[in-house]
């Protein structure tokens, strides 16, 4: 049935037809996809506001609490008393010829070069007829790594300090029962080597980085009786200040624990590797026990003694442990100081050429963060607080309009507040801290 509208009632009909509200129009326009992206955008804006507020508030708090300290204990592997021989994934600790280094005399200065480079013309080579006991066997891998320039830059100064204190390093080994060689470095290339290669112009100290291109390594001198004397070098060797700190493991403890953990008491030491009676099964062995006593509960049960490599005297670390702790200092923008201290560390690494063996590493680190901003950080951030307050009001207004369907969600980033009065004074109040504030943002 068709309804006929009397003439003259069209305007009345139009006036009585309801006009859609703005909220209804906005609600109709919103699809599920738009709602999702609007909410995600809103969540991102709130997160940005919270992050910026946290960064600025932290700087103000640090003006009154300028130092924080945190201790962490890291553990890798299994304690040798509780584990058995098993495959160890990766390639850390292995003495590869393209990873291990020697301090070779170049001109009038000792420089760090990989053994692969030394054999390719950097060092003066002398080939011996047979395998000698006072050499160290290094490994060869099919995919050699490339040593970076930064790695050489790190170890070159260490080679200079080793040359300066070589007598002290030898003394530490001798005093702990080893028989370190006194002339040059001799190596065997590969576990199946048939003769020894002598680097006649190299110091008798072998540098074995823990992995490829790290600023961390263990050091050692081959022994005349085949026992490799592993030492750790700290303080003046790796950073300015302190002493030339040499840490050596007692040979008797090193030998007895290796035999115990491998469950083979009848082996012999050859070329730095512990060799089983069958002559085929061989393991290299390294131990580390920094600033822990031999009778430490649940410790390794090995004694480590600290020496001054320059004076050749024993250092008392019991009464003053901070004097012997390994420390690294990092400074950011002359405002934030980060001092990383190794309170103690212990390590056992016993492996064969196929990476079957034992691995245990445990260290307690102490990180101290010092903030030097002071009250100037408070003054520099007053305008930031005003800006964040205006930003929060804008966020709340945007949320209210969105929830009551009076407006769509429009991005409420910090850029829309550039017209704020507080923002105008921002460059002046920041002053010399402007670079640091930009880093925080």
Let me know if residue 320 belongs to a domain: yes
Counting residues of the chain whose pLDDT is more than 90, the rounded percentage is 54
Lowest mean pLDDT among 50-59, 87-96, 268-277, 298-307: 50-59
Q: Give the rounded distance of the alpha carbon of 441 from its chain centre.
A: 25
Which region among 16-30, 240-254, 321-335, 405-419 has the lowest average model confidence (pLDDT)? 16-30
Lookup result for tokens 């022994």: 223
Burial class (CB in 10 A: 0-12, 13-18, 19+), 361: middle
For residues 234 and 186, state if they share a domain. Answer: yes
402 in the same domain as 335: no
299 in a structural domain: yes
How many domains does one find in the chain? Answer: 2
Structural domain contains residue 419: yes
Average pLDDT of the residues in 128-138: 95
Distance between alpha carbon 408 and the CA centroid of its chain, in Å? 47
The answer to whether residue 378 is domain-embedded is yes
DSSP assignments along 45-91, one per residue: HHHHHHHHHHHHHHHHHHHHS-EEEEEEEEEEE--TTS---EE--S-
Task: Tell me the average pLDDT across 219-232.
Answer: 96
CA dist 158 → 163, 217, 430 (Å): 9, 11, 42
Residue 12 in 3-state DSSP?
A: helix
15 pLDDT band (50/70/90 cuts)?
very low
Average pLDDT, the chain: 83
- 111 and 258 both lie in a single domain: yes
pLDDT, position 156? 96
Comparing CA positions, the residue from 48, 49, 42 lying closest to residue 385 is 49
Domain stop point among 355, 371, 387: 371
Say if residue 156 is in the same domain as residue 187: yes
* Mean pLDDT of all residues in 102-118: 96
pLDDT tops 80 at residue 404: no
In this predicted structure, what is the pLDDT of residue 244?
93
pLDDT in the model for residue 357:
96
Select from 147, 271, 145, 146 the least CA-distant residue to 220. Answer: 271
Confidence of residue 11 (pLDDT cuts 50, 70, 90): very low
Whether residues 323 and 379 share a domain: the answer is no
**How far is residue 208 from each of residues 6, 27, 419, measured CA to CA in Å?**
104, 69, 60
Domain assignment of residue 253, yes or no: yes
Let me know whether 287 and 220 are in one domain: yes
Among 371, 402, 422, residue at a domain's last position: 371
Residues 84, 229, single domain; the answer is yes
Tokens matching residue 188: 């065997």
Does 230 share its domain with 354?
yes
- pLDDT value at position 370? 80
Secondary structure (3-state) at 347? strand
User: What pLDDT score does 440 carry?
Assistant: 44
Domain of 393, in residue numbers: 373-440
Alpha-carbon span 284 to 33, nearest angstrom: 62
371, 395, 428 — which closes off a domain?
371
Average pLDDT of span 8-23: 46
Residue 242 gets the label, from left (phi > 0), alpha (psi -120 to 50) or beta, of left
User: Same domain, yes or no, for 324 and 380?
Assistant: no
């Amino acid at each position: 049935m068709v309804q006929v509208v009397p003439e003259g009632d069209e305007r009345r009909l139009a006036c009585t037809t309801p006009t859609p509200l703005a909220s209804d129009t906005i609600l109709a326009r919103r699809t599920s996809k738009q709602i999702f992206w609007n909410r995600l955008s809103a969540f991102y804006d709130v997160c940005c506001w919270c992050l910026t507020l946290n960064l600025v508030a932290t700087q103000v708090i640090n003006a009154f609490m300028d130092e924080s300290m945190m201790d962490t204990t890291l553990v890798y592997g299994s304690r040798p008393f509780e584990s058995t021989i098993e495959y160890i994934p990766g390639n850390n600790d292995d003495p590869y010829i393209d990873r291990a280094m020697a301090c070779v005399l170049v001109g009038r200065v000792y420089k760090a070069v990989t053994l692969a480079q030394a054999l390719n013309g950097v060092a003066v080579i002398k080939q011996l007829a047979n395998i000698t006991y006072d050499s160290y066997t290094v490994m060869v891998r099919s995919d050699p790594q490339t040593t970076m320039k930064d790695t050489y830059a790190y170890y070159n100064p260490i080679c200079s300090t080793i040359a300066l204190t070589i007598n002290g390093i030898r003394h530490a080994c001798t005093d702990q029962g080893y028989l370190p060689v006194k002339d040059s470095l001799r190596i065997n290339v590969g576990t199946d080597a048939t003769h020894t290669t002598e680097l006649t112009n190299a110091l008798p100290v072998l540098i074995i980085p823990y992995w490829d291109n790290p600023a961390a390594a263990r050091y050692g001198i081959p022994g005349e009786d085949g026992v490799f004397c592993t030492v750790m070098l700290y303080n003046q060797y790796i950073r300015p200040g302190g002493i030339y700190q040499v840490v050596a493991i007692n040979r008797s403890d090193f030998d007895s624990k290796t035999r115990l953990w491998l469950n083979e008491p009848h082996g012999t030491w050859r070329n730095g590797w512990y060799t089983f009676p069958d002559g085929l099964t061989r393991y290299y062995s390294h131990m580390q026990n920094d600033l822990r006593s031999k009778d430490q509960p649940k410790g390794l049960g090995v004694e480590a003694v600290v020496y001054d490599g320059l004076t050749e005297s024993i250092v008392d670390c019991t009464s003053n442990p901070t004097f012997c702790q390994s420390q690294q200092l990092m400074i950011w923008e002359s405002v934030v100081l980060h001092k990383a201290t190794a309170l103690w560390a212990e390590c056992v690494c016993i492996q064969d050429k196929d990476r079957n063996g034992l691995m245990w590493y445990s260290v307690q680190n102490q990180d101290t963060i010092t903030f030097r901003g002071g009250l100037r950080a408070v003054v520099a951030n007053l305008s930031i607080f005003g800006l964040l307050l205006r930003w929060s009001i804008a966020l709340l207004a945007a949320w209210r309009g969105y929830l009551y369907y009076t407006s769509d969600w429009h991005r409420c980033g910090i850029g829309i507040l550039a017209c704020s009065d507080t923002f105008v004074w921002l460059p002046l109040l920041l002053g010399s801290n402007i670079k640091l504030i930009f880093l925080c943002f």
